[in-house]
Chains A and B, each alone.
Chain A
Amino acid sequence: MNANINQTTEALFCNACAVKVNSEDQFCNNCGYPLKGTEEEQKTFLMDKNYKEVNLDEANRMIRKTSNTLYYIAGFTLLVGLIQYGTTKQFDYRNSLLIVNFILALIYAGLGFWCRIKPFAAILSAASLYVLIIILNAISNPLTIISGIVFKIVVITLFIRGIKSAMEAEKLKRELNIG
């Protein structure tokens, strides 16, 4: 009698995700945990879940790194804008240079912030903007490709890894039923 009561109270909450379940359910309908499965099945399920959570942490770390990179790019763009403003003589031209760099920095910073919420859209947008700016500069002055080429390659590699991590994180979140 006592054991029976214990069993029903145990079965009321899922061991893996602590959501309320019915006592007659075979599986948790929130996370798929085998409520009535063998000990080994339950162990395998929890290990798999744990593994996915570790991967999700890893992906989220990469996303944060990309977000920080976007902030750095924003700061760098603003700095370049101010330097160009200081060194350019023509009044009209230097004003528009400053405005363009200011808007660019604002977009990068905004995407960097948004990266924490919707990483995939933010990183892919930032990457396309970054590549477009490189192409624009390269065509108006081909020498700009070589200047800071290591920096550019590092940034683009980071973007690519960020996009892949964002895809991975989306997939894992869906599988773990969070977010």
Chain B
Amino acid sequence: MPIYCDNCSNQTDYNKRYCRHCGAAINTIAEKSNEEKWISIKQAGLFFLLHAVACCIFSFVDIFNTISWKIAFDCFLAIVSIAFFALNWSELKNLLNWSCFSISKLSAFCIIAIVGSIGVSLIVRWINLELYSRTFSYYNFYLPHKHSISLAIFFTAVMPALFEELGYRGFLLGKLLQVTDTKQSIFISSFVFAIMHRSFISLFWLIPFALLIARIRIKEKTLWYGICIHFCFNFTATLLDILQYQHH
């Protein structure tokens, strides 16, 4: 396919790297210098550290193991995500558009998420029974509260879906895309997202889950599909948790 060189305006070849008339590099996207890339990495690193410290403190210091602290930590994580997203607003704002909205695509994604969630819940339950001879329930945590069901749904389905997507698929993936190619960015953001959940058994399904959402986010150029998938996945898991509790 012939194109014209930006430098000398002679006809040249599209699939080649240099113009054969003037030697200028062709088709190079304006690339950032390594210093600018390093700043991006440091910013992403700070985001990671804030999330990591907050998550670890919440799950390992016993005095924070109450509903009010859980709400405080979730709000902190949400604020960090929003702050980092807002700092890079000009680069990331397009992600909040939903220009090619498609009902069929959305429902297909949601059905995959729900089926996946049921499958994963059953497998996790089986693994926990085999390894620890008991089941774990996030719902137990909200049980003493009088609005336990709505609290559980809000804090395990709505909040993570919105703010984890904003933070990991929005900010983190966006920053990494400035530094390296698409495939590596998708992998790194998914890996960080998965290890942040601090459960080694769940790595096996969290990484594919995150890879899928990141791929959709790159392909559709919007965060909303990811938010819906994440919501459906967590919502189904929470419902199963509640149903299982009420059954016993």
Q: Which residues of A contact B (CB under 8 A)?
A: 21-22, 25-32, 34, 92, 95-96, 99-100, 103-104, 107, 118, 120-121, 124-125, 128-129, 131-132, 135-136, 139-140, 163-164, 167-168, 170-171, 177
Interface of A is mostly: helix
Contact with A along B199-215 (1 / 0, CB 8 A): 01001000000000000
- Return 16 A-B CB contacts under 8 Å, by A number: A25-B20, A29-B17, A29-B19, A31-B17, A100-B200, A118-B183, A118-B187, A120-B180, A124-B41, A125-B187, A129-B195, A131-B49, A131-B52, A135-B52, A136-B56, A164-B38
Interface string of B166-185 (1 = CB under 8 A from A): 00000000000001110111
Chain A residues with CB under 8 Å of B20's CB are 21-22, 25-29
Chain B interface, DSSP helix/strand/loop, else mixed: helix
Residues of chain B with a CB closer than 8 A to A121's CB: 180, 183-185, 187-188
Q: Which of B1-35 contact A (CB under 8 A)?
A: 12-13, 16-23, 25, 34
Q: Is the CB of B180 within 8 A of A132?
A: no
| Contacting pair A139 B200 (CB below 8 A) | no
State A136–B17 Cα separation when bound (angstroms): 47
Contact, CB under 8 Å: B184 / A136 = no
9 interchain residue pairs of minimum CB distance: A27-B23, A121-B184, A29-B16, A32-B18, A25-B20, A29-B20, A125-B191, A139-B56, A103-B200
Residue of A27, A103, A118, A132 near B52 (CB, 8 A) is A132
Contact of B180 among A104, A107, A170 (CB under 8 A): A170
Specify the chain A residue showing the minimal Cβ separation from B33.
Answer: A171
The reply to whether A167 and B23 contact each other, CB–CB distance below 8 Å, is no
Q: Is the CB of A27 within 8 A of B18?
A: yes
Chain A min CB distance to B161 (Å): 22
Whether a CB of chain A sits under 8 angstroms from the CB of B100 is no
**Which A residues are CB-close (under 8 A) to B37?**
167
Measured CB to CB, the nearest residue on chain B to A27 is B23
Closest Cβ neighbor of A114 among chain B residues: B187
Shortest C-beta distance, B40 to chain A (Å), equals 10
Interface residues of B in 84-109 (CB under 8 A from A): none
Chain B residues with CB below 8 A from A27, complex form: 18-23
